[in-house]
């Protein structure tokens, strides 16, 4: 299989946009955690503590998403360097590795999103219960 130098370069725009989205998710969750910690310091309720634990898990997943995304970009650049110097076989394998790392990043992203949706559904069910009572 022949891989041209331009093929790994195609990942640059996609990976950089994905990393930007991951960073935005991280910053949003970090802001929420800070607010919840302040609320917890004022009202030490178990629900706030559980929500903070959930967000902590999500932050860990986002860190893994970012790590896999950055490694994917790194190996994509490395594959381009190998292709540039004429090592087509190694360049192809390294590019394949970068694609696998990108898939891992997206899989962890899906996992983090599913945790987020479950947490939102808990909040919605609380609101629905209050609406039924009121």
Kindly report, residue by residue over 53-93, the tens digit of the pLDDT.
888 899 999 999 999 999 999 999 999 999 999 999 999 99
Number of compact structural domains in the chain:
1
- Centroid of chain to Cα 125: 26
Angle between helices 88-133 and 46-84 (to 10 degrees): 160
CA distance 83 to 88: 5
CA distance 50 to 68: 27
Contact in structure between 26 and 59 (CB atoms under 8 Å): yes
- % pLDDT > 90, the chain: 49
Domain that residue 48 falls in: 6-133
CB burial class (10 A; 0-12, 13-18, 19+) of residue 58? buried
Q: Is 86 within the bounds of a domain?
A: yes
Mean pLDDT (the chain) is 88
CB burial class (10 A; 0-12, 13-18, 19+) of residue 91? buried
Q: Which two tokens stand for residue 83?
A: 């292709």
Q: Is 24 within the bounds of a domain?
A: yes
Closest CA to 83 of 94, 72, 74, 71: 94
- Does position 42 have pLDDT exceeding 90, yes or no? no
Q: What is the model's pLDDT at position 60?
A: 93
Label residue 134 by pLDDT band (50, 70, 90): low
Q: Is 1 within the bounds of a domain?
A: no
């Amino acid at each position: 299989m022949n891989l041209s130098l331009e093929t790994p370069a195609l990942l640059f725009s996609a990976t950089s946009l994905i990393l930007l989205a991951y960073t935005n998710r991280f910053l949003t969750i970090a802001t929420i955690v800070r607010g919840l910690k302040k609320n917890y310091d004022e009202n030490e309720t178990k629900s706030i503590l559980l929500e903070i634990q959930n967000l902590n898990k999500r932050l860990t997943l986002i860190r893994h998403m970012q790590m896999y995304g950055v490694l994917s970009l790194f190996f994509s650049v490395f594959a381009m360097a190998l292709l540039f110097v004429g090592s087509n076989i190694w360049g192809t394998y390294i590019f394949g590795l970068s694609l696998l790392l990108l898939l891992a990043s997206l899989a962890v992203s899906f996992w983090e999103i599913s945790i987020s949706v479950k947490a939102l559904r808990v909040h919605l069910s609380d609101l629905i219960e209050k609406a039924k009572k009121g």
